[in-house]
Amino acid sequence: MNDPMIILVLVGLASIICQYLAYRIKVPAILPLLVTGMLLGPFLGLMDPDELFGDLLFPLVSLSVAVILFEGALTLKFEDLGSHGAMVRNLCSVGALVTWAIATPVAHFALGVSWQIAFLFGAIVTVTGPTVIVPMLRTVRPSARINNILRWEGIVIDPIGALLAVLVYEFIVATQDAWTHTFHTFGLVIAIGFGIGAAMGYGMGYVLRKNWIPPYLENTAVLTLMLGAFALSNVLSHESGLLTITIMGIWLANMRDVNVDGILEFKETLSVLLISALFIILAARIDLGSIIQVGWGALLVLAAIIFLARPLSVIASSIGTDLNWREIALLSWIAPRGIVAAAVSALFALKLEALEYEGSDILVPMVFLVIITTVVLQSLTSKKIAAWLNLRSPAPNGFLIFGASKFARMFARELMSHKIPVQIADTNWDAIREARMENIVTYYGNPVSEHARRTMDFSASGRVLVMSPYRRLNPLVTYHFEYTMGKGAVLGLPIGDLDASARHQVSEDYAKKMVLFAPSATYGRLAGLVARGATIKTTRLSESFTLEQYQETYGNRALPLCALDPAGKLFVFTVQREFKPKADWQIIALIAPESMTVEDKAKAEAKARTGKDADGPARATPATPAN
């Protein structure tokens, strides 16, 4: 296949298919991406990246890695480190040195390469990287502390490992006074990386804080200036660009009064595309013959890196920390190598081959063998190991309910009885106190506040139900959590004033999200039904008690809220979504008492239409969050 356009489109389509396949079968996307790249390249011969991109291949790879690393750095907030900052520091210093010290002699004796090539190989395999760590964490779902440690390590270790590889390379090619030349290179990289990174980070943050760039140009400006800083650093000192953009990203992420959410969203989308394309392209360059020729010594090197170097580096790094043995064990197992290792190895291999340096041809196949082995082995096993060590966070199938009314508390208790995690947030202290007395996890305050972001645990909450009477706060909560959790993750009680004049109606987009349960299930109607003795009841359907019989039994007294299938998956009834529960399903419904008269029902309906239950002046403004 010789048409570059068709090949590029094929890579894009393959990237999307691999990402979707990984999402459906619950495996890290790296696995199908690697397999696809090898199929397109060495197996089927449909793509030759070197022929397709020519001399532009490695500049494009370098710039793509810069974008990915910068996006990762933007997520690193010092407040997330908490008490495990020392562990991250140790892993990126002591841990890297331990890995280097073990991988180097094993590579020298097992592969028969020179000490110089062995030292360079050992330096390259110290890196892990966000391209593999972040997708794996998304699938494995380890505890919050392990998640933060691995995420910080994966981003910070990349420029450190690249710097170490640069120093070894400079030592190898130095013709005289190698130690002086190496230390000079080290000082230059550190000075340029920290200097340009800090200056660009502060400068860009200041510009964003002052709103000097129009909103529609912010993402483009930050991306362009970041790539400019990366290129400038590399021109001034070889391979210092990774350190520059890491410092720049961390500086921006932790600068006061600088909102990087919009930038981060843009970079995340771009990173997914770049990671997918890079893995396919670099996997297509793999020379299977070179990997086979490495010999059996490669297995010894792999075993030493996975089963000896990583555990010892984690154990050495954990000295003086409060990590328990289970956390140390999981950290010891998860350390896949990614794009930075692949790109750096290919770059230095080309330079050493140009110098006709003996043994340089083994560098790329050996590094790719480490990448493939660690990614495949750890991707397939880390989920089970995390579960076995009891360090896997629960699936986010729980609910955050905004509003602690009596109906919301009844609904929360019913869901909890089916082992569905629920937490309630409200700015009304009396309602929160009642919820706490009923053993419901609560947050007193505004759930979209900075205090809530720092203190609330959202790991088990996959959806948000807006059930409060605060009409001015409900939209804020709705759009905030839809942004953080995704479209369709937030549902609210229907608005009861759709017949009002156009100037008093809510927006059509917001109204489409207020579709919980049924068109008439407004806050006022639910409060009225509960006040008159309505209860929430779970009923199991069977072959002898079908949905039709359930409806005949309860009639208009039942307001279906949600249903549980036999596997325990919860389906929420909405105005727009219809589904028919079958045998062995359980229906959770609000059941009005039989004694409730038609007049009572009419009064409840009238109350819902008048909107008098909406928040008054005293409850419209959120209270100051407190615990």
* pLDDT tens, position by position, 18-74: 888 887 877 767 778 888 988 888 888 888 888 888 888 878 888 887 887 787 788
Tokens of 336: 């896949």
Contact at 8 Å (CB) between 50 and 57?
yes
User: Residue 310's pLDDT is what?
Assistant: 94
Decide if pLDDT at 613 tops 60. Answer: no
DSSP string, 13-62: HHHHHHHHHHHHHTS-THHHHHHHHHIIIIIT----HHHHHGGGHHHHHH
Q: pLDDT category, 616, cuts 50, 70, 90?
A: very low
* pLDDT tens, position by position, 550-564: 888 888 888 889 899
Average pLDDT over residues 211-219: 86
- The proportion of the chain whose per-residue pLDDT surpasses 70, expressed as a percent, equals 90
Which position has the higher pLDDT, 359 or 205?
Answer: 205
Contact at 8 Å (CB) between 53 and 60?
yes
Decide if pLDDT at 312 tops 80. Answer: yes
Task: Give the whole-angstrom CA distance, residue 419 versus residue 2.
Answer: 57
User: Residue 504's pLDDT is what?
Assistant: 61
* pLDDT tens, position by position, 135-157: 788 778 888 888 888 888 888 88
User: Residue 615's pLDDT is what?
Assistant: 38
Name all domains of the chain by residue range, CATH numbers in brackets: 4-388 (1.20.1530.20), 398-620 (3.40.50.720)
User: Residue 608's pLDDT is what?
Assistant: 47
In what side-by-side order are the strands of the sheet with 558-564? 535-540, 586-591, 558-564, 570-572
* Secondary structure (3-state) at 334: coil
User: Residue 627's pLDDT is what?
Assistant: 32
Tokens of 477: 């909560």
Decide if pLDDT at 618 tops 50. Answer: no
Average pLDDT over residues 474-499: 81
Q: How many CB atoms lie within 10 A of CB 118?
A: 23
Average pLDDT over residues 593-598: 62
Tokens of 148: 């933060």
* pLDDT tens, position by position, 244-296: 888 898 898 888 888 777 777 676 677 778 878 888 888 888 777 777 777 78
Q: pLDDT category, 611, cuts 50, 70, 90?
A: very low
325: nearest Cα among 146, 178, 173: 146
User: Residue 175's pLDDT is what?
Assistant: 59
User: Residue 625's pLDDT is what?
Assistant: 35
Q: How many CB atoms lie within 10 A of CB 549?
A: 12
* pLDDT tens, position by position, 95-144: 999 999 999 999 999 988 889 889 999 998 998 877 678 778 877 888 88
Q: What is the 3-state secondary structure (H, E, C) of 199-244?
A: HHHHHHHHHHHCCCCCHHHHHHHHHHHHHHHHHHHHHHCCCCHHHH
Question: Whole-number mean pLDDT of the chain?
Answer: 82
User: Residue 135's pLDDT is what?
Assistant: 75
User: Residue 556's pLDDT is what?
Assistant: 83
* pLDDT tens, position by position, 406-429: 999 999 999 999 888 899 999 999
**Residue with the two structure tokens 């008048």:** 610
Its pTM stands at 0.70
User: Residue 569's pLDDT is what?
Assistant: 85
